[in-house]
Chain A
Amino acid sequence: MNAWRTVRTVLAKELVDALRDRRTLLTVLASAVLMGPLVLLAISGLVASLESSADQREVVAAGVERAPTLKNFLERQTYRVRPAPADYEQQLRASSLTDAVVVIPPAFETELQRGETPLLEIVSDSANQRSVASASRLAQLLAGFNRERALLSLALRGVSPDLLEPVEVQSRDLASTQTRATRITGMLPFFVMMAVLTGALTAALDTTAGERERGSLEPLLMNPSERWALVLGKWGAVASVAMLVAVLSCLSFLPGQWWLRSDTLAAMFQYGPAEAAQFLVVLLPFAAAVSALLMAVAIRCKTLKEAQASTTVVMLCASLLPLVNLFSLGEEAPWNLWVPALAQNVLMTHVLKGDALIATQLAVPTLLCVAITVAALAAVARVLRVAAVR
């Protein structure tokens, strides 16, 4: 019989089977659809709260009543000074206080008048990210206070303030707005890839290890069908589910943008239909390869439970490899494109940075995905007969 008809028959049956597993399918699809908006919402919430604390222009200080000069300086910089709570150390540790605290010693004012360089402490907790951000702002502010005092003393002694700054330093940031945004939105590709992986997982396990566990693989192989046709049909169904998840999660970022609470982030995060399409060009081969790979691992397992344990390795690799990109702090090596999962992450990060996808860059990861798909499916077809009777 025509092998391609077998492929179609198996594909149709597996799709119906997957579609009828409503609860699993809905969970997978809902998480794919909701992921984009939710991740963006979380990021925008974070950025917005950072921005608002920068906008608030507030300084938390312990013992500010002992330092009228400093208070005066801060107020001239239009900062409001708020007294620190008594248990500020504890609150910082517990992250319930998100501003760094300036601790002013009792003899601050008199020491300052006598020129004895009193000590100001900036207290933050490096495990409390937002207090660190506010600490660096505070340090700059206090450096300004230092400079002002120094200039005043020099001016009193008739020295030109220029002597204090023989060199003028100015910094210039080369990063475009979008590049800066990828520091924050850099994890989006990772989330999309995880969605594709989990989407493929249930379907891949059900058509392989699930079939063995139910005892339906042996009768299936007693049909006069080509084994590769059976495998191809099954893979087609798994890959369709994975690709559907990929499409949904890529599109979910489009409406997700509407909810961006931070204007800066909304300006930086350029994600339109063109970017979604480029994401898909990168993701669809990945979805195909991951489906085949998961099937190849799962067909060796007798039960769904065993298969879940085995496929954890694949899931772990696919979720850890993209992190190489994070650890190397964005420094990209050419070999990155030769590592599946990492390559997809790199390319999607390019898209987010606003770089166009280059065909030569796309070629290697895509061909690798095709190779993985073919090799994994061949492995499934080879093991299928042995798996049926074991």
Chain B
Amino acid sequence: MIRIDALSKSFHASGGHDGQRARFSWRRRTPQIVRAVQSVSLEAADGRITGLLGPNGAGKTTTLRMLAGLITPDEGRLQVDGIDVTVAPRAALARMGMLSDARGLYPRLSARENIVYYGQLHGMSREAAHARARTLSQMLDLGALLDRRTDGFSQGERMKVALARALVHDPANIILDEPTNGLDVIATRALRESLRWLRTAEGGAKCIILSTHIMQEVERLCDHVVVVARGRTVASGSVAHLLAQTGQDDFEDAFVQLAYGPSGTLP
């Protein structure tokens, strides 16, 4: 169960440079304030797949990074199973499995070692982590990949290992940032099946948040959709509910209307 209330975050960006380098520049640039997230709220219940849908730059990744405690929010609250992320970030992280935008693996370690390393960092024993790696390998069909170094892996293969790594501690809350990027049709289908199973009672009734900009994904998978645009939550509800709200037949049209306004362009 994840609750996000009225979250907001602004960044200082200076012309043409990232913040770190600007500090060493000769003259002071007037800092530009970028309001990445202005008011995002969502509630993701257990045993449901919640879609976080929004155009590029809507603030999805920033929101998820705040959820992971990597960025401190300016305002708002983030709760994971009742634990406040800003107060007890590590307790919250222990209850989350997060596949972030950056999903780099260690190229000189095998897929199994990559997964077991994260398991151990989550406090699992070696044996437990290895057992879990075997289970995940069956679920995600890693098979022969498991004992190969990840150096030459294809994007889809990397993606699967990164997903297994995020799920190694069997978290109650699963957060996936654009998980189908780089996956082929078969792998996408398999992932969809896995997520559906994780949602069920025998799969653990996980709370799953799926951030994406692919409509099909949302239509096929999500029980609940939160539409984010320009750093704000602009609508939420089931796919059917959003269709009814906008009076559209096609979900893509409904999304464009919600995200960009009736004219289809950003106001």
Contacts and interface: CB of A to CB of B under 8 A. Distances in A.
A9 B19 CA distance: 33
Contact of A219 (B90, B94, B120, B166): B166
B107 A214 contact: yes
Interface in A262-289: none
A359 interface: no
A312 to B, nearest CB: 16
Interface string A366-390: 0000000000000000000100111
Interface stretch (B39-47, B97-105, B181-189, B222-230): B97-105
A211 B102 CA distance: 11
B118 A218 contact: no
A332 interface: no
A114 interface: no
A75 interface: no
A389 B90 contact: no
Contacts of B12: none
Nearest to B175: A222
A390 B22 CA distance: 13
Given A20-B108, A385-B70, A216 B121 contact: no
Contacts of A218: 65, 70, 100-102, 104
A385 B107 CA distance: 22
Overall SS of chain A's interface: helix
B251 to A, nearest CB: 31
Contacts of B102: 215-219, 388
Contact of A1 (B71, B113, B117, B122): B122
A225 interface: yes
Contacts of B162: 219
Nearest to A6: B121
A17 interface: yes
A21 interface: yes
Contact of B103 (A13, A20, A215, A388): A215
Contacts of B121: 6, 9-10, 220, 223-225
A5 interface: yes
Contacts of B19: 390
Interface residues of B, number: 34
A222 B93 contact: yes
A16 interface: yes
Contact of B104 (A6, A17, A215, A222): A215
A70 interface: no
Contacts of B109: 13, 16-17, 20
A300 B162 CA distance: 25
B18 interface: yes
Given A219-B100, A222-B93, A9 B117 contact: yes
Contacts of B101: 218
Interface in A30-73: none
Pick the most buried of B19, B91, B101, B102: most chain A CB atoms within 10 A of its CB: B102
Interface of B: 18-20, 65, 68, 70-71, 89-91, 93-94, 96, 98, 100-109, 113, 117-118, 120-123, 162, 165-166
Given A5-B123, A215-B103, 9 more contacts: A13-B113, A17-B108, A20-B109, A214-B104, A219-B98, A219-B118, A219-B165, A223-B93, A223-B121
24 contacts: A5-B120, A6-B121, A9-B117, A13-B113, A13-B117, A16-B108, A16-B109, A16-B113, A20-B109, A214-B104, A215-B104, A216-B104, A216-B106, A223-B93, A223-B122, A224-B90, A224-B93, A224-B121, A224-B122, A224-B123, A225-B90, A225-B121, A226-B90, A390-B19
